[in-house]
Amino acid sequence: SQKIEQNSEALNIQEGKTATLTCNYTNYSPAYLQWYRQDPGRGPVFLLLIRENEKEKRKERLKVTFDTTLKQSLFHITASQPADSATYLCASGSARQLTFGSGTQLTVLP
């Protein structure tokens, strides 16, 4: 069955550094991957979508890459700030439904 996995360990980084989160997928070839941000007790919020034919996508301090050879997407936050602390979810799927990873909890230390 198709699986989408994120490093479930929490990630702590110093303010100003670049945070890099990983999303791996197995047993299928997604046409796109999405990234969401979730704050405690809140619903996820969509951040970025990258398609299989796109190597990289940027939005302000965010960058997403998609490597179909490694079956992996990387999510980068440059010049990180304590306000970036949250859980980040990757997701993929069909036009009917999305499958989500378990998320990576990021803490940016001041």
CA distances from 88 to 27, 47, 53, 69 (A): 22, 9, 23, 23
The two tokens of residue 73 are 């997407």
Size of the site for other proteins (CB under 8 A): 27
Q: Applying CB under 8 A, does 41 fall inside the site for other proteins?
A: yes
Nearer to other proteins, 83 or 96 (CB): 96
Segment near other proteins (CB under 8 A); pick from 21-29, 35-43, 57-65, 69-77: 35-43
Q: Are 22 and 33 in contact (CB under 8 A)?
A: no
Binding to other proteins in span 45-74, by CB under 8 A = 45-46, 49, 51
Among the listed residues 2, 8, 12, 81, the single contact to other proteins using CB under 8 A: 8
User: What gap in Å lies between CA 55 and CA 31, rounded to an integer?
Assistant: 12
